Chains A and B, each alone.
Chain A
Amino acid sequence: MKVPLIWLKDYIDLNKNPKEIAASFTSLGLMLDKPIENDILDLEHRMDRADWLSITGCARDLAAFENAKFKFPKVYKEKGKEPTKESSVEIKVECPDLVNRFNTRVFRNIKVKESPQWLKERLEAYGMPSINNIVDITNFVMVELGQPMHAQDIDKMEKPEIIIRRAKNGEKVKTLLGEEVELDPDIFVLTQNGKASVIGGIVGGESTGVDNSTKNIVLDAGNYNQTNVRRNSRKLKIQNETVLRYDKYLNPELTQIAMERAVGLILELAGGDYYENYDYYPKKKHTNPMTLRYKRIKTLSGMEIEPPKVKNILELLEYKILDEDKKGLTLEIPYFRTDIEVEDDLVADVLRINNYEKIPVTLISAAPPKEITQPIYKYEEKLRDACSKLGLHEHITDPLVEKNDNDQKQVALENSQSSEKNSLRTAIYQTLAPVIDMYKKQNILKCGLFEVGKTFELTGKGDSIDNYSEKRVLEAIYYKENLNPYKTSLKVKKLLGGLLKEMGVQNHYFQNEKNQTLIKQEELLIGELKYDSFTIFTEKLQKAETANTRIKYDISASTSEDISLVIKVGSIVGETIKSIKELNSSITEVYVIDEYQDKKLGENKKGVTIRIEIATDKSSAASIKEKILEVLSQNPDIEIRI
């Protein structure tokens, strides 16, 4: 909201410089948004206070804050002449759900001309060009009081009537800016003789605009359904001063005050005869009185403000005290305060005008409550540390991806602005793998990356939130230039093994199922393995059995046995080899130390050397080795070479 100081000072006497005034506005809730230029304050407006979109609304709060006198502008209370057949413009509202009030007056034999200097000066400081006295008056009253107004040339109307109805599909209006806009029945229009001339609450039309030849006008101040105006202005992509105000909650009572102000100005600046006309206002708006308990101010702020001070602040803000006792006040809410919802909003008014800086600073003294951090949160923090220990870099990537029509489980978005980001990822790999390109570009030819985040899946149909599952996942990817998939897979498995070791998870094994390799511990599925990456379901891993066997305090003899095997290419023997570990409690580790191809081994055969670590001396190890050989020889795919 732009507040030119020259205009502000019409309503408040204040001997302060622009910077000081801006500081006061900022404290009371209207923060200075842009640097002060030419004595114009540009204040950030939040959506609650419709009255802060008027200079008087801003001035009233500033006066209260500064304890200065606020001067409301002069309004013209006298009624106009009784409508005659000649003067009257018929008003009809066919969409009462969208129109709360439509207040009109008629002026005849006015003189449209240039506005006086004081009026031009104020509008121009605000940033509105001066057009003629009538248009300028409607704009002036809008900025001064916050109520959009609108004048139409009666002689340009095909019939002296304003019928407000929903637009027809495809109906068109040429706006004041000369732009042709196509409408639909969500939008309402002001019409005469069946023709739409104004888009309700949004923009006037060219056909009935006021110009220097205009003699007779109908002036209106409407109050409309704000949601409708907001939605339609966005749909039509029309943003202007009218829309800015109509998409907030205005009180229909304001139309009368704005009308009285405008009548006075028109009679003063354009002369002519002034007639009453129809004021469509079927349901008078009532605001219920509210009570403010002094103790509520203390409850929220922790400080006492003396009742006379509270009353003074509220009266400066134009609350009417209907009743009072020791405990508090019963208040009539001013018509322009459509934002007041609960008692605490009244407390907010008292505290902000009293200045927040006056509220003391006191740390919470109560004992802290019981810790409710979920164990998975801490567990994932440990996983992050474990990954970085292994040399993996953490990345965070955008979970939004392009829709994949073949993925039935993907959760799609209904209204994304971007076609590249209109669905949620089902695997972190989808968004993390592209990061490798950044490393390649940087000429980093080797990298391991990880991300801890969520993947999303559709698990059913319908509105229920239960149909959208979120899975907590750790994804790790490894890349090294010119490393073949087989060798990459060895590195990936080493990283995975290192991670599990760090987390104390023992005895994991791999199992091929369908086209996937699963990472399991007994029956527990803890993740999935690919040649270049692995996925860990963190909540599952958290449930895996763990033991910290890395701390050895019994330093006894330990030895190892290597066994060379010949294995048929394509056979899967991981489980047999892993089962060796169960044979004797002294066996601590079983792993592959070499895997090679050699023609001497025969067609479709490969050599695999495994190492078995045994926590015993050489002589006891010999008998264990015999047992191992026996188990291995039972698998028809394994040949022992030794």
Chain B
Amino acid sequence: MDIQKRVDEINLQFNDNLKKTKLTGDFDNLYLKYFSKSSGATTLLLKELPKFSEEDKKKYGPLLNDIQNTQKEAIEQAKILYQTEQILSPLIDLTLPEKPDETGMLHPLTHIIREMNDFFRYYGFSVAEDREIETVEYNFRKLNLPEDHPATDLQDTLFVKQPNVLLRTHTSSVEARILTNYKPPIRVVTPGKVYRNETANKSNSSFFHQYQGVVVDKGITMQNLKATIETFLKFLYNTDIKIRFRYKYYPEVSPGMGVDIGCTFCGGNGCEVCRYRGWIEVLGSGMIHYNTLKMCGIDPEIYTGFAWGMGLDRLVMTKFGIPDIRKLYGGGMVYK
């Protein structure tokens, strides 16, 4: 076996290949051709080293290692040179403007709901959903809204089959289902669609979105309600906002509580946005009504709880600068 001849051949061939590759840039293949574990020419020759005579080993061992290193280095250097040349090529003008790759967009509402869910998950809340076609029992009765209550008027509710089947008018129906189906302790938030019998305009649509929270456990008080709301609002807006708690009646809670934030547009001096109140009403809340707990099978003498609810659409419109609720839901919003 003429080892020297094979060494010369490999070297010659390699130099020739390297020259060609310098034009194509396919250095990875060149590397494999010489250094692939199973079929690389240089590698195979090196693998034969143990079979050489002692004399040849001494002579060719270091030489072959040298060749291997030189070839690898040559490929590496040629590769860097090639890439540099490519970048510097007059054909490439990196300063030209481009049309960006398309990416898919999530709906603004999805972003807001995810942000809020993340916040509440951190505080141990689960996310709950339920039916949109509901019964009068879960949408009204269990929430302490008896027959003939003004809020249950035909005018405001979309009925599927009078008098018992309707489209839920608030996510409180999910609250009623959760309180009925689960035993305390309960901590859930419920984002979802709700429906009202309204003619669509800039700020009202026949369907919109609410976000509700429910907590029931032993020893839950209004102090916990205030703390939860305060922490949440500071997360949602910013830590400097002013928050006002005041009495407000809602049929499904007692005591009820309205929550406002100091108007961020006028700093509380009164402007059109806050209707010159200096405050913007952001959500309704309260201690879950004694009768609601009872009707859902929870003993109100042992457990107490609170609930709060808010509309999501106005929040989304404000955060994303969308002026018309109809645009938000299929009526004229595109992603570019």
Interface residues of A (CB under 8 A from B): 26-29, 31-35, 46-49, 226-227, 230, 234, 247, 299-303, 339, 341-345, 347-348, 351-352, 356-357, 359-364, 366-369, 371-374, 377, 381, 384-385, 387-400, 411-418, 421, 424, 431-432, 434-435, 438-439, 442, 444, 447-448, 454, 456, 463, 465, 468, 470
Partner of A396 from B109, B157, B231, B290 at Cβ < 8 Å = B109
Chain A positions within 8 Å of B333 at CB level: 395, 438
Binary contact track B143-156/A, C-beta < 8 Å → 1, others 0: 00000101101110
CB distance from A399 to the nearest CB of B (A): 7
Nearest first, the 4 A-B pairs at minimum CB distance are: A368-B124, A388-B104, A302-B221, A348-B255
- In whole Å, how far is A360's beta carbon from the nearest beta carbon of chain B? 5
> Range of interface residues on chain B?
35 or more
Between A and B, 24 residue pairs with Cβ closer than 8 Å are A35-B270, A35-B275, A300-B221, A344-B254, A344-B289, A345-B254, A352-B255, A356-B246, A357-B244, A367-B124, A373-B127, A390-B104, A393-B335, A394-B105, A397-B329, A398-B205, A399-B207, A400-B206, A414-B162, A415-B197, A438-B334, A444-B336, A465-B135, A465-B165
The stretch among B10-18, B24-32, B41-49, B179-187 that forms the contact with chain A is B179-187
B227→A362 contact, CB < 8 A: yes
Of A26, A393, A399, A431, which contacts B104 at CB under 8 A?
A393
Q: Are A448 and B275 in contact (CB under 8 A)?
A: no
Please, how many angstroms separate the alpha-carbon atoms of A339 and B247 in the complex? 15
Contact in complex: B158, A395 (CB < 8 Å): no
A371 to B217, CA, bound (A): 15
Q: Is residue B103 contacting chain A, with contact meaning CB distance below 8 A?
A: yes
Instruction: Evaluate contact between B128 and A46: CB separation under 8 angstroms.
Output: no
CB distance from A166 to the nearest CB of B (A): 18
Say how far A250's CB is from chain B's closest CB, in angstroms: 14
B34 beta carbon closer than 8 Å to chain A: no
A-facing residues in B289-336 (Cβ within 8 Å): 289-291, 304, 328-336
Check if B275 sits within 8 Å of A361, measured CB to CB. no
Tell me which of B103, B186, B193 contacts A391 (CB under 8 A).
B103
Further pairs besides A348-B256, A400-B207: 11, Cβ < 8 Å: A48-B251, A49-B249, A247-B150, A300-B255, A344-B289, A356-B222, A394-B106, A394-B107, A398-B330, A415-B154, A465-B131
Question: From residue B9, how far is it (CB to closest CB) to chain A in Å?
Answer: 27
Once the chains bind, are A344 and B104 in contact (CB under 8 Å)? no
* CB within 8 Å of A: which B225-249 residues: 226-228, 230-231, 244-249
Q: Which of B154, B193, B223, B330 contacts A301 (CB 8 A)?
A: B223
Instruction: List chain B residues, Cβ under 8 A from A35.
Output: 270, 275-276
Contact at A435–B199, with CB atoms within 8 Å?
A: no
A29→B125 CA distance, assembly (Å): 30
Q: A461 to chain B: closest CB distance in Å?
A: 10
| Nearest residue, chain B, Cβ from A303 | B223
Distance to closest chain B CB from A634 (angstroms)? 38
Question: Within 8 Å CB of B205, what residues of A?
Answer: 398
Measured between beta carbons, the chain B residues less than 8 angstroms from A396 are 107, 109-110, 328-330
- Determine the residue in chain B with the shortest Cβ distance to A439: B334
- Residue B164 at the A interface, CB < 8 A? yes
Q: Are B107 and A395 in contact (CB under 8 A)?
A: yes
Cβ A391 vs Cβ B104 within 8 A: yes
Closest A residue to B181 by beta carbon equals A372
B102 at the A interface (CB under 8 A): yes
Chain B residue with minimal CB distance to A36?
B276
When the two chains form their complex, are residues B158 and A415 in contact, meaning their CB atoms are under 8 A apart?
yes
Asked if A463 and B257 sit within 8 Å, CB to CB, the answer is no
Could you tell me if A32 and B304 are in contact, using CB atoms closer than 8 angstroms? no
The answer to whether B158 touches A388 (Cβ under 8 A) is no
Cβ contacts under 8 Å, A413 to chain B: 158-160, 167
Interface-central residue, B104, B222, B226, B287, by most chain A CB under 10 Å: B104
Taking CB atoms, residues of chain B closer than 8 Å to A468 are 133, 160, 165
Q: In the complex, what residue of chain A is closest to B182 when comparing beta carbons?
A: A372
Is B289 a contact partner of A32 (Cβ separation < 8 A)? no
Max chain B C-beta neighbours (<10 A), residue from A351, A369, A448: A369
Is B221 a contact partner of A299 (Cβ separation < 8 A)?
yes
Q: Cβ of B126 < 8 Å from any Cβ of A?
A: yes
| Min C-beta distance of B37 to chain A, whole Å | 12
In the complex, residue of chain A having the shortest beta-carbon distance to the beta carbon of B104: A388
The one of A27, A348, A385 in contact with B254, judged by C-beta atoms closer than 8 angstroms, is A348
Q: Are B223 and A359 in contact, CB atoms less than 8 angstroms apart?
A: yes
Known contacts A47-B150, A230-B150; A29 and B104 CB within 8 A of each other: no
- Min CB distance B269 to A, Å, is 11
The answer to whether A48 and B249 touch (CB under 8 A), given A432-B330, A434-B330, is yes
Contact partner of B128 (CB less than 8 A), chosen from A345, A372, A385, is: A372
CB neighbours of A46 from chain B (8 A): 248-250
Within the assembled complex, what's the spacing in Å between the Cα atoms of A415 and B159?
A: 6
Bound form: Cα–Cα A367–B218 in Å: 12
- Residue numbers in B under 8 Å from A414 (CB-CB): 159-162
> Is B134 within 8 A of A227, CB to CB?
no
Q: Is the CB of B104 within 8 A of A448?
A: yes
Task: Say whether, besides A359-B245, A465-B133, A301 and B332 are in contact (CB < 8 Å).
Answer: no
Q: Which residues of A contact B227 (CB under 8 A)?
A: 361-364
